[in-house]
């Protein structure tokens, strides 16, 4: 055995580009579950309504959409009852945006912890994305209740086989929000400008995703000579949302396997890229945060 | 015994001041030079020695500079130095909290670090929940913590509150709980920053006792930072003294502590007066103990705050009663000092030969001035002890303390 092989830890200024130590991550799996537990326990401590807020928030949002987009603007909902249509979009989008806004300031909010002890930093955003699933699940439960109520009183919404894609769709939402989140968190440690810009972008992003309107509404519409229908497909969140709404509600038409695959590949590349940048940042961020 | 940790030219550069467009400018320039022109980082060349008290020219300082040393397996090393000497930075790099700017560290075995007690405690969670969370953050597994839970709770002395949220704890109690978790870590290499100074006197005693147990257990390598010289001497075998980011000295702990204690005061800690035209900024003596008849060396740095044509330096030696004994001047030695411009810095070295004072304690002032004015006089900043040896004093009893000097003599009898 040579001298260099005996060393178990080597600390140096720069690592290889891809330096994710999966063995190390696995060693910290208990920390991952404990972080999830912490996130859940502490979320609504000392509020009277507690987890009821998970349900109240989407209800209020949907009511607002019904008034503003359904009522005042009169935007069609593909023949689906407005509460169901908006709720489907809101649940999915809420999960995405919650994960994204939480993971996008991983370094800044955890600087106190990160400055004092080392553990694979990636655990924190991954745990955030996982613990947000609880909230998503409760909101999905609300959706199911509303869905059942509507099926009893009779409505044109009809579930089809594409609904079986649901677990994959959630995984894609989680992957996309994690990828964007860790990328943004790495870029905002030193210059916080991006963070301010980002809250604004997140708002715009929601309107660029078919949530308060069906994708079919955009067909044939152009802005400044650009075909909006195609451009909207490029938003990686669009195929996920559209597939969900089509599978569960039968709203509109299936976006196509091609676009779904595009979204998936987008997610994979984004995650790889995000993890590389994130790992690069975690080494030096304490000096700049 | 084999080497447990090896530090190779570890340096760490920090940028001072605020993040602004100026930093963006530097970042872009650095990126351009390193990635496009494929040259060395331009800002790595311009760092200054990190002395917190003096005003520097550069925005970049070296918190650590070329630190190289080895730690043997099973050794307990105390790292000491004044505030800002780089102790915590060194531990942070070793704990992988931040990366070094240059250099490498190699280590054998798992490194556990304790830079703060109760890291990651959540105020809303109970003591028990926090033990698990904190333990996992420090690198323990759930089953490991569950196995040690009773011991941890017992050591912390917070049993009654263990199912109460930590926000209801007194600050001392949460610190006790935090330390208790960390005390039951068992990596091969343990890194501990100044955390022993927590809790009340009783708990501190308990904590130091626990650390002694930890460091004595087989093969464990421990690195300690502390300002408490008593506990550091109790715990450690080897000492490492850092000054301005560089290793001042290393060796057996008692020697290192003595050197540190004799260097601890800075030039600003002494009585001084004068018009301030030229000032002593730093000084050092070669030894604090000198045998009768031997030499002592004084090094000092001076800086001119205005232009001076005439400058003389003197070292004024007094005995322990304050009686003036010797006035050592550069003029007498025939070494004249050239005029100094404003802002100019110089380094003086003075060799004082054949100290033939009676055994005892002596102090000396450093005086800078001209025949017309005193620029700066730092009082009693040099201290040394003259020791009686048989080289000059053969009488079997101590030299009479009422006589101040010793003159060598030759007898014809």
Is A10 a domain residue? no
What's the pLDDT score for residue B46? 61
The predicted-structure confidence for B369-413, as pLDDT tens digits, reads as follows 999 999 999 888 887 888 888 888 888 888 887 888 999 889 998
- Give span(s): CATH 3.40.50.300, chain B: 3-8+66-261
Closest A-chain CA to B63: A287
Tokens found for residue B267: 């030039």
Asked if residue A6 belongs to a domain, the reply is: no
Question: How does pLDDT run across A219-253, given as a tens digit for each residue?
Answer: 777 777 777 777 788 888 888 888 888 888 877 77
Please give the pLDDT value at position B352.
93
Establish if A277 belongs to a structural domain. Answer: yes
For the ranges A133-137, A138-142, B194-198, the lowest mean pLDDT is seen at B194-198
Contact A116 B99 (CB under 8 A): no
Separation between Cα atoms, residue B188 and residue B310, nearest integer Å? 61
Whole-number pLDDT of residue B349: 93
CB pair distance less than 8 Å for A46 and B124: yes
Report d(CA B242, CA B90) in Å as an integer: 10
Please indicate, yes or no, if residue A27 is contained in any of the structural domains: no
Q: What is the spatial order of strands in the sheet that B48-49 belongs to?
A: A9-11, B102-107, B3-15, B60-72, B48-49
Mean pLDDT of chain B: 83
For residue A163, CA distances in Å to A94, A145, A233, B337 come to 19, 17, 20, 91
Q: For all residues of chain A together, what is the average pLDDT?
A: 82
pLDDT > 80? residue A286 = no
Asked if pLDDT for residue B201 goes beyond 80, the answer is no
Name B124's Cβ contacts closer than 8 Å, sequence gap at least 6. A41, A42, A45, A46, B165, B166, B167
Q: Does A167 touch chain B (CB under 8 A)?
A: no
- In a domain? residue A25: no
% of residues, chain A, pLDDT over 70: 91
- Asked if pLDDT for residue B347 goes beyond 80, the answer is yes
The minimum CA-CA distance between A1 and chain B, rounded to whole Å, is 14
Q: What is the pLDDT of residue B307?
A: 92
**Cross-chain Cβ contact B106/A38 below 8 Å:** no
Picking from B101, B120, B125, the nearest residue to A113 by CB comes out as B120
CB crowding B381-391: b at 16 or more within 10 Å, else e = bbebebebeee
In this predicted structure, the answer to whether residue B342 has a pLDDT above a threshold of 80 is yes
Among candidates B97, B124, B140 on the partner chain, residue whose Cβ is nearest the Cβ of A118 = B97
Instruction: State yes or no: pLDDT of A14 exceeds 90.
Output: no
Looking at the complex, does the CB of residue B106 fall below 8 Å from at least one CB of chain A? yes
Asked if A38 has any chain B CB less than 8 Å from its own CB, the reply is: yes
Rounded average pLDDT over B53-70: 75
Q: Quick check: is A257 in a domain?
A: yes
What is residue B126's DSSP assignment? B
Instruction: Decide if A197 is inside a domain.
Output: yes
Instruction: Look at residue A1 and tell me whether its pLDDT is greater than 50.
Output: no
Query: Can you tell me whether residue B217 is helix, strand or coil?
Result: coil
In tens, the pLDDT along A194-220 reads: 778 888 888 888 888 888 888 877 777
What pLDDT score does A4 carry?
A: 47
Q: What per-residue confidence (pLDDT) applies to B341?
A: 92
Question: Is A9 part of any domain?
Answer: no
Cα–Cα distance, A161 to A253 (Å, whole number):
13
Q: Is B40 on the interface with A (CB under 8 A)?
A: no
Q: Do A117 and B95 touch (CB under 8 A)?
A: yes
Tell me how many domains chain A contains: 1
Q: CATH 2.70.50.60 spans which residues of chain B?
A: 267-387
ipTM of the complex, rounded to two decimals: 0.80
Query: What is the per-residue pLDDT across A163-198, written as a single tens digit (0 to 9) for each?
Result: 788 888 889 999 999 999 988 888 887 677 777 888
- Compute the nearest-CA separation of B324 from chain A (Å): 52
Percentage with pLDDT > 70 across chain B: 89
* pLDDT of amino acid B161: 85
Region A119-123: mean pLDDT is 87
Q: Is A25 a residue whose pLDDT tops 60?
A: yes
- The answer, yes or no, to whether residue B350 has pLDDT greater than 90, is yes
Which two structure tokens, joined as six digits, stand for A145?
């209740």
pLDDT score, position A198: 84
Q: Which domain holds residue A119?
A: 48-287
Say which CATH class B3-8+66-261 falls into: alpha beta
Domain B267-387 sits in which CATH superfamily?
A: abc- transporter (atp binding component) like domain (2.70.50.60)
């Amino acid at each position: 055995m040579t001298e260099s092989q005996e060393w178990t830890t080597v600390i140096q200024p720069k690592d290889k580009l891809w330096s994710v130590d999966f063995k190390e991550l696995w060693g910290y799996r208990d920390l991952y579950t404990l972080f999830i537990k912490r996130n859940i326990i502490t979320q609504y401590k000392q509020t009277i309504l507690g987890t009821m807020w998970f349900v109240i928030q989407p209800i209020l949002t949907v009511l607002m959409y019904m008034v503003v987009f359904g009522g005042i603007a009169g935007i069609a909902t593909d023949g689906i009852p407005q509460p169901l249509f908006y709720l489907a979009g809101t649940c999915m989008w809420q999960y995405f945006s919650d994960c994204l806004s939480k993971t996008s300031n991983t370094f800044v909010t955890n600087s106190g912890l990160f400055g004092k002890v080392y553990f694979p930093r990636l655990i924190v955003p991954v745990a955030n994305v996982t613990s947000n699933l609880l909230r998503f699940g409760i909101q999905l439960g609300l959706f199911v209740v509303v869905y059942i109520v509507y099926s009893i009183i009779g409505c044109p919404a009809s579930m089809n086989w594409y609904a079986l894609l649901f677990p994959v769709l959630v995984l894609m939402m989680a992957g996309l929000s994690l990828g964007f989140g860790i990328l943004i968190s790495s870029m905002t440690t030193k210059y916080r400008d991006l963070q301010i810009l980002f809250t604004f972008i997140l708002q715009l992003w929601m309107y660029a995703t078919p949530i308060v309107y069906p994708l079919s509404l955009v067909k044939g519409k152009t802005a400044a000579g650009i075909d909006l229908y195609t451009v909207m497909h490029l938003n990686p969140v669009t195929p996920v949302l559209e597939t969900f709404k089509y599978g569960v509600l039968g709203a509109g038409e299936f976006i196509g396997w091609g676009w779904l695959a595009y979204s998936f590949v987008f997610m994979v590349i984004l995650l790889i890229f995000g993890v590389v940048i994130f790992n690069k940042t975690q080494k030096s961020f304490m000096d700049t945060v | 015994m084999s080497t447990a940790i090896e530090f190779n030219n570890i340096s760490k550069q920090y940028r001072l001041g605020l993040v602004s467009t100026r930093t963006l400018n530097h970042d872009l320039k650095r990126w351009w030079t390193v990635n496009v022109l494929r040259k060395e980082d331009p800002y790595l060349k311009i760092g200054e020695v990190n002395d917190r008290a003096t005003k520097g020219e550069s925005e970049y300082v070296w918190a650590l500079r070329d630190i190289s040393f080895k730690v043997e397996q099973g050794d307990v090393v105390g790292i000491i130095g004044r505030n800002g000497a780089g102790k915590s930075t060194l531990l942070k790099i070793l704990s992988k909290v931040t990366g070094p700017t240059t250099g490498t560290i190699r280590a054998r075995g798992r490194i556990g670090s304790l830079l703060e007690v109760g890291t990651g405690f959540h105020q809303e969670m109970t003591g028990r929940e926090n033990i698990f969370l904190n333990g996992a953050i420090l690198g323990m597994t759930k089953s490991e913590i569950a196995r040690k839970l009773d011991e941890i709770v017992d050591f912390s002395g917070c049993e009654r509150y263990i199912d109460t949220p930590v926000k209801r704890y007194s600050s001392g109690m949460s610190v006790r709980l935090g330390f208790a978790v960390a005390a039951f870590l068992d990596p091969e290499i343990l890194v501990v920053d100044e955390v022993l100074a927590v809790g009340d006197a009783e708990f501190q005693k308990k904590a130091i006792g626990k650390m002694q147990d930890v460091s004595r257990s087989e093969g464990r390598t421990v690195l300690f930072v502390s300002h408490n010289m008593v506990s550091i001497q109790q715990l450690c075998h080897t000492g490492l003294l850092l000054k301005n980011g560089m290793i001042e000295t290393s060796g057996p702990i008692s020697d290192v502590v003595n050197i540190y204690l004799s260097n601890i005061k800075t030039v600003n800690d002494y009585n001084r007066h004068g018009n301030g035209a030229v000032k002593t900024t730093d000084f050092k003596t070669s030894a604090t103990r000198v045998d009768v008849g031997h030499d002592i060396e004084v090094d000092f740095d001076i800086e001119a705050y205005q232009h001076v044509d005439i400058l003389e330096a003197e070292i004024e030696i007094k005995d322990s009663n304050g009686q003036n004994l010797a006035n050592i001047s550069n003029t007498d030695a025939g070494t004249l000092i050239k005029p100094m411009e404003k802002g100019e810095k110089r380094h003086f070295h003075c060799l004082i030969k054949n100290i033939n004072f009676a055994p005892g304690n002596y102090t000396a002032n450093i005086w800078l001035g001209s025949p017309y004015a005193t620029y700066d006089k730092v009082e009693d900043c040099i201290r040394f002890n003259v020791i009686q040896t048989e080289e000059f004093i053969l009488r079997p009893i101590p030299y009479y303390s009422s006589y101040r000097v010793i003159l060598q003599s030759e007898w014809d009898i």
